[in-house]
Structure 1
């Protein structure tokens, strides 16, 4: 009896069309997306692994809603959706940074709106918590010190910097005043005497107070933190788990009616 009942149940299941809550079995099947006239091709697995909305849409008899060209219409800005799809494919967050202009906050706001719409919680967390600010850090680095007699007009910095250093400048550290003997016949313009050694120095030349500066070369170093740039990085995983625990504790706390 049990065998017959099992066979009967199996026959019924095979004859029954896929239900709404049944995900398609062939997750590697290609899907064409029509994003306001721009075509994107990917797989069911890419769309459903991280997006709650696509997981919901690609269930049951989802092919019945295809357009004439067998594509799924997606109402979104193609340029913004491009960043969303790239994240769905590889789990790499859309870091948009320029050394001179900084972060593209307008683009981040647009992508955040799409992340909320498509139900992509980790991408939404990365943008809402502004974790892109942790992807790139800057620090001040110091190089060799120079005295002013080694620095001339139109000087060229000779220190060797790594490519992570974006800009350098000279910073004066300290200054000392010393007496310098000036030849009598060169006293007007305080220029160097062409005679070496000048015999007039022995006859009591003039003395000027000369300021001797000490400079140091300072640079701005940019560091790239890979662990904040994708959802598999250790730094992001720790943050996500901490946020998830806090959210769970908040929802599990009993609400006291006043």
Structure 2
């Protein structure tokens, strides 16, 4: 005969709205007085399939359960739209309903604003085009956007080295001799359009430390719970 599962690791099935979730009792009661009471001996009754019914929004509860499992605060941020404040507000109400004090405080204090940081840097820059096509490029990380500011164009004429040796642009004679000694094609003069201005770089970074509940705090959350959490056998 199989021995019963320890109370703290017992599997629990929740029917939240139209959605069903499987987790453990420990995950649910560690921070939530609501679930500590629901899953106590004198708590709520299970449905025919053994699940507990919770009258709440299943889509929002997905974020609640993710937090209860790992102690990671939620970030709802889109590169184009920014933070989803409506979702933060809705989740705050759920945190209050379930009595999850740490999550409630984090949302009320808008700590999510400290998790996503945007840094702006400005630097002078220029590139050249020869008869239209660009001959210079700028490589940036995926989280950085670049915008040209105060752009102006200037037409000029310059020497093109066929070997792409930058010093030959300023020393035509040296370039000619270099090519002649090798019996290779000579360089030539060409018209350029120079684009000059400032580059604004916008870099978005994510500070994971703002969203992670420290293990020390997580282990102390049991003290936040009312007596129903302490189950005597």
Is 1:218 the counterpart of 2:200 in the alignment?
A: yes
Choose the corresponding residue for 2:100, options 109, 120, 124. 120
Indicate conservation of the 8 Å contact 1:31/1:43, yes or no: yes
Question: Is residue 2:24 matched to residue 1:43?
Answer: yes
Considering only CA atoms, is the larger Rg found in Structure 1 or Structure 2?
1
Contiguous gaps of at least 5 residues in structure 1: 1-23, 181-211, 238-258
Cα distance change, pair 121–145 in 1 and its aligned pair in 2 (3 A)? same
- State the number of aligned residues: 178
The 1:50–1:34 alpha-carbon spacing in structure 2 relative to 1, beyond 3 Å, is same
TM-score, length-scaled by structure 1: 0.60
**Residues of 2 paired with 1:156 and 1:134: CA distance?**
40
TM-score by length of 2: 0.66
In the TM superposition, residue 154 of structure 1 has moved relative to its aligned partner by 7.3
d(CA) in 1 for partners of 2:200, 2:213: 35
Report if the CA contact (8 A) 2:149-2:199 is conserved: yes
User: Which residue does 1:68 correspond to in 2?
Assistant: 48
Deviation at 1:218, TM superposition (A): 1.7
Higher relative contact order (CA 8 A, sep 6+): 2
Distance 2:130 2:148 in 1: 10
Q: Is the 8 A contact 2:46 2:52 kept in 1?
A: yes
Listed one character per residue, the Cα deviations across residues 150-205 of structure 1 (whole Å, up to 9, x for unaligned) are 5986758712211220x2111238x8x9xx9xxxxxxxxxxxxxxxxxxxxxxxxx
Match of 2:66 in 1: 86
Question: In structure 2, what is the equivalent of residue 160 of structure 1?
Answer: 139
SS of the aligned residue for 1:88 comes to helix
Distance 1:233 1:132, change over 3 A: farther
Shift of the 133–90 alpha-carbon distance from structure 1 to 2, 3 Å rule, reads same
Q: Distance in 1 between matches of 2:215 and 2:204?
A: 19
Q: Secondary structure at the match of 2:48?
A: coil
